[in-house]
Structure 1
Amino acid sequence: MRAKKSSDLISPAGLIKLMTHALMGAALGLTFSVTLILSNPAVASLLDHSGSHAAIVVALTLVTTFAIGATLTGAVFILVEDKQS
């Protein structure tokens, strides 16, 4: 019978992997939001008429959403990789 080993997710290396996934998601969200604002005139016009901080709020919302999604996906990847080895 195999001994139970602790999950790689709880170790310092696992936390660094999760942080890496979160940062990748944040970078992707920022790229997506800037591209959306600059390439779509309807969105740019809507944000222009919405107030002074509307573009920042939209960008931060997308960055946060992408970062959370990438972190959760990274956790699943780490757990699946841990089960296979």
Structure 2
Amino acid sequence: MRVKKSPGLISPTGVIKLMTHAMMGAALGLVFSLALVLSNPAVAKLLNDGGSQAVVVFALTLVTTFAIGATLTGVVFILAEDKQS
């Protein structure tokens, strides 16, 4: 008789794994936004002309995009890992 396993995403360990993926994505978004500003003077000029709100919107947009992408990738990895075991 097979024992039913709870899905990996619903368990507390799965939630911690997803949060870890989201935090890694947010960190990558911050690094990417800094690299983009430092390597492309046109972006730096646009942000300088836009004021402080433009910088916040630019950084939050990249951080959110990367965090969502990393979280969705984490979901795929966790589901694939559960299928293998």
2:56 equivalent to 1:56? yes
Deviation track 1:7-57 (CA, whole Å, cap 9, x = no partner) reads 111100001100000000000000000111122100001111122211111
SS at match of 2:52: coil
Task: Quote the residue 1:37 is aligned against.
Answer: 37
SS at match of 1:69: helix
For this pair of structures, how many residues does the alignment match? 85
Provide the rounded CA distance (Å) in 2 between the counterparts of 1:44 and 1:67. 23
User: Unaligned 5+ residue runs, structure 2?
Assistant: none
Query: CA offset at residue 3 of structure 1?
Result: 4.3
Question: Normalising to structure 1: TM-score of the pair?
Answer: 0.92
Give identity over the alignment, percent: 76
Question: Normalising to structure 2: TM-score of the pair?
Answer: 0.92
Task: Quote the residue 1:83 is aligned against.
Answer: 83
Task: Quote the residue 2:19 is aligned against.
Answer: 19
SS at match of 1:6: coil
User: Unaligned 5+ residue runs, structure 1?
Assistant: none
Provide the rounded CA distance (Å) in 1 between the counterparts of 2:30 and 2:78. 24
Task: Quote the residue 1:8 is aligned against.
Answer: 8
Query: Which amino acid is 1:10 matched to?
Result: I
Provide the rounded CA distance (Å) in 2 between the counterparts of 1:31 and 1:83. 33
Runs of 4+ in structure 1 displaced over 6 angstroms? none
